[in-house]
Structure 1
Amino acid sequence: MKAPKSFRLHIGLFGRRNVGKSSLLNVLTSQQVSIVSEIAGTTTDPVEKPMELLPLGPVLFIDTAGVDDEGALGELRIRKTMSVIDRTDLAIVVSNSQEWGEFEETLVQQFREREIPMLIVFNKCDLFPAQSCLLNSLAGEKLQCLQTSATTGMGIPELREAILKSAPDDFINRPAIVSDLVGPGEMAMLVVPIDKEAPKGRLILPQVQSIRDLLDGDSFCMVVKERELREALNRLNTPPKLVVTDSQAFLKVAADTPPNIPLTSFSILFARHQGDLAEMVRGAMAIDQLKAGDKILIAEACSHHPIGEDIGTVKIPRWLTQYVGGKLEIDHARGRDFPENITDYKIIIHCGACMWNRREMLSRIMKARQLSIPITNYGLTIAYSLGIFERALQPFPAALEVYRENLLLRK
């Protein structure tokens, strides 16, 4: 089975039109991934190419349109290109030494502000060798520069080596999802409801990833449906170290799990794994300030068609309405469609983003924080609105402390 995008290092190629980004991608992947032409602006939408870059592992190359595109259509292309920055783990700024200027400096500044590692690649060096003064100037800014030629293959092995060495540490040493909360030789009980939204014949990605993470951590794992949990617990000689439930079954699972057994949800695990748990805990506490008529945004990384009692379109709006005691104005965003202006929203409630890389989720959290818009996720919202927030945070002492400190500040 291919690695999901969330497990791939996202490598974005950025630069002006016709500097050879697409040619560079084709030679890096040894495939004709992007259309190459002498006509500037051939690449319109971002082009993705997943591959294995050994010994690093699974990566996703993203070829983008030129940042100097023109006209109304060009502006749309530039907007799509800039949105790729939100999910870029490693940036490759492609130029030639004849054209280094404002466009490139703007890109460099964007990556620096977001603390995204980057490589500067002067392509077409067989035609335009980089000037030593420019190389020295960029080196003085602690930027790694390489000279390549997609046509002759010059510098390509060095570029591959630089990509391997520049991969962020949190990709190489990927944090655990749940195994660090359980420990080797200990058991986690995973509660997996099988309802209309459960994919036929398989489990959803967060459940699969959690099982694999527990196996990698030498932990035991038992999987049950919510109505079987109490009987399963009674049959165990030793209680599990942790119970993890689908957030939709929180109330029943909390009732059936003894208070001495820590309890949380898959969604809250992913608030930590894919985002910033402390920030999302603070965001969930903003639910107390909601009033009837307030505008909120519910965002989901997937663009699936909701069915039945969908969690994002039916259940969370219902629970929030009951908690607030009045009707709320709710907008929905799916996939990568996200409002440019979020200042009208009192809170943003996001899914666990299991299909994305962590960088993209952190980018949305950063945007919300910069505008002082509270942001949280599905599991935290459900736990808060159902009155079991503190219990759901017990496995995370630092996040629990954030919650308690903010409670004190309100008094």
Structure 2
Amino acid sequence: METAPRSMRLQIAVAGRTNSGKSSFMNLIAGQDVAITSPVPGTTTDVVEKAMELRPLGPVLFLDTAGIDDETELGNRRIERSGRAFDRADVILLVTGAGVWGAPEERMLAVARDRKVSLIPIVNKCDQTAPAPEFLAKLREATGFEPLCVSSNGGEAERERVLPLLKDALLAGCPEDFLTPPPLLGDLVKPGDTVVLIVPVDIQAPKGRLILPQVQAVRDALDSDALCYVVKESAYRSALANLREKPALVVCDSQVVDLMVRETPADVPCTTFSILFARLKGDMNVLAAGAGRIRSLRPGDRVFIAEACTHHASDDDIGRVKIPRWLAKFVGGELHVTVGAGRDYPADLSKYQLVIHCGSCMLNRRETLRRIENARRSGVPITNYGMAISTCHGVLERVLSPFPEALEAFRRGN
């Protein structure tokens, strides 16, 4: 991996009315033309993404969205697309003009409050009209942030002036769980401990690479000064025999969880990559409680399976084939399963009895938590792939043993 994945970047949505200068502002910050600008309203249709490095924040992803005041039929579709960007935004920059604050801006303020993210006001085109002190005070009171006054056509000198101010605002508005995210596995081991990672190499494994959760687990083990032992499932038994001391932790791909549980000594903690990601990307306790609800499913119930990526499905695809098959065997009959890929995630999930989400390796924490919240608002339990698979195989209590609170949530959810 040569660059930080999108899911690990601070995601910054740039919002505002049509022709407020959102794209010009993003071009100013990037120092290059990354978004088309035009005096014609509605130039920005789909969300435009720009990855950058902003020290000391690190890797970030700007999301240039369509105008929030476009009331045409096409405009409503654009706004719907923008709404998906707001679902994954860690921070929202609201671009407006001097004295411009009305219903569209109030709606964006409500969007930010609903998603519990910061809304930082950007007053653009200040070279044309200087904002009144009373207007700046109003923005300050409404958002809790000092408005950033900008002239997006000011060139490199303006960029050098604005960029440090923007960085300061982003640092102040950045969510705490981005700066100090939940641990992956580092809190489960000590320096010098051995971690064994069981990584199947099968038809679904990308040629010449490991999948993102496996890569992140290796890196986290190394960052924790642990000894990392990566093996295929066929070599796991001999790997244990070769170790002079028992490992402090074993982690496997969920598809071989049976083998891991069967071969791992009872006093050695073990779990799956997907369960580790339940904590890193979402709310582990909520997802564990959702796994407990699998026991109450009945044949004919509706289940929504959410895949964050849009990979080409194989004949034995984990989300489309294997999980539905394991669920049917577990409940004793076929279920009505709907699969959504990429950002195809319904706002209203109330017609389903359960949502099963992937590990979210391609989503950031903000969007995953938003999806969990959507399920809660719809009154539908939600779990993830690893927990669902382990439940169907009767081993979830074993692989949740490193996480006592989640284990208790699963038991309560039964």
TM-score of the two chains, using structure 1 as the length reference: 0.96
Residues 197 and 308, structure 1, Cα contact 8 Å, conserved in 2: no
The one-letter code matched in structure 1 to 2:98 is S
The CA distance in 2 between the partners of 1:272 and 1:239, in whole Å, is: 25
The equivalent residue for 2:151 is 149
- Do structure 1's residue 292 and structure 2's residue 292 form an aligned pair? no
Q: Deviations over 1:32-64 (max 9, x none)?
A: 000011111111110000011112110000100
Residues 267 and 379, structure 1, Cα contact 8 Å, conserved in 2: yes
The CA distance in 2 between the partners of 1:167 and 1:233, in whole Å, is: 43
Query: Aligned ranges for residues 252-267 of structure 1 at < 5 Å?
Result: 252-267=259-274
The one-letter code matched in structure 2 to 1:60 is L
The equivalent residue for 2:239 is 232
The equivalent residue for 2:32 is 31
TM-score of the two chains, using structure 2 as the length reference: 0.95
Query: Aligned ranges for residues 238-317 of structure 1 at < 5 Å?
Result: 238-317=245-324
The equivalent residue for 1:362 is 369
- Do structure 1's residue 346 and structure 2's residue 353 form an aligned pair? yes
**Any stretches of 5+ residues in structure 1 without a counterpart?**
none
Q: Secondary structure at the match of 1:180?
A: helix
Question: How many angstroms does 1:253 deviate by?
Answer: 1.3
- Do structure 1's residue 171 and structure 2's residue 172 form an aligned pair? no
- Do structure 1's residue 93 and structure 2's residue 100 form an aligned pair? no
For structure 1, which segment, 332-341 or 16-25, has the greater mean C-alpha deviation from structure 2 after superposition? 332-341
Percent of aligned pairs with the same amino acid: 47
- Do structure 1's residue 162 and structure 2's residue 164 form an aligned pair? no
The CA distance in 2 between the partners of 1:290 and 1:168, in whole Å, is: 36
Question: How many angstroms does 1:89 deviate by?
Answer: 0.4
Decide whether aligned partners of structure 1 residues 406 and 292 sit closer, same or farther in structure 2, where only a CA change above 3 A counts: closer
The CA distance in 2 between the partners of 1:159 and 1:250, in whole Å, is: 46
The one-letter code matched in structure 2 to 1:149 is S
Q: Secondary structure at the match of 1:239?
A: coil
For structure 1, which segment, 313-322 or 133-142, has the greater mean C-alpha deviation from structure 2 after superposition? 133-142
The equivalent residue for 2:334 is 327
The equivalent residue for 1:102 is 103
**Any stretches of 5+ residues in structure 2 without a counterpart?**
none
Question: How many angstroms does 1:370 deviate by?
Answer: 1.1
Q: Deviations over 1:160-195 (max 9, x none)?
A: 432244322222223321121122211111001111
The CA distance in 2 between the partners of 1:366 and 1:19, in whole Å, is: 31
The CA distance in 2 between the partners of 1:173 and 1:65, in whole Å, is: 31
Question: Which of 383, 390, 407 is matched with 1:400 structurally?
Answer: 407
Question: How many angstroms does 1:231 deviate by?
Answer: 1.4
Residues 264 and 393, structure 1, Cα contact 8 Å, conserved in 2: yes
Residues 196 and 308, structure 1, Cα contact 8 Å, conserved in 2: no
- Do structure 1's residue 114 and structure 2's residue 115 form an aligned pair? yes
Measured on the aligned residues, the alpha-carbon RMSD in Å equals 1.4
The CA distance in 2 between the partners of 1:138 and 1:69, in whole Å, is: 22
Q: Deviations over 1:183-230 (max 9, x none)?
A: 221111100111111111111110001100111111111011112111
The CA distance in 1 between the partners of 2:194 and 2:131, in whole Å, is: 58
The one-letter code matched in structure 2 to 1:108 is L
Q: Deviations over 1:327-385 (max 9, x none)?
A: 11111100011224311111010100101111111110010011111111000001111
Q: Deviations over 1:249-287 (max 9, x none)?
A: 011111111111111100000011011100001111111
For structure 1, which segment, 139-148 or 285-294, has the greater mean C-alpha deviation from structure 2 after superposition? 139-148
The CA distance in 1 between the partners of 2:23 and 2:72, in whole Å, is: 22
The one-letter code matched in structure 2 to 1:404 is R
Question: Which of 174, 181, 187 is matched with 1:180 structurally?
Answer: 187
Residues 292 and 411, structure 2, Cα contact 8 Å, conserved in 1: no
Q: Deviations over 1:261-318 (max 9, x none)?
A: 1111000000110111000011111111111111111110110011132111111111
Question: How many angstroms does 1:320 deviate by?
Answer: 0.2
The equivalent residue for 2:7 is 6
The one-letter code matched in structure 1 to 2:390 is A
Question: How many angstroms does 1:406 deviate by?
Answer: 4.1
The one-letter code matched in structure 1 to 2:169 is A
The one-letter code matched in structure 1 to 2:312 is H
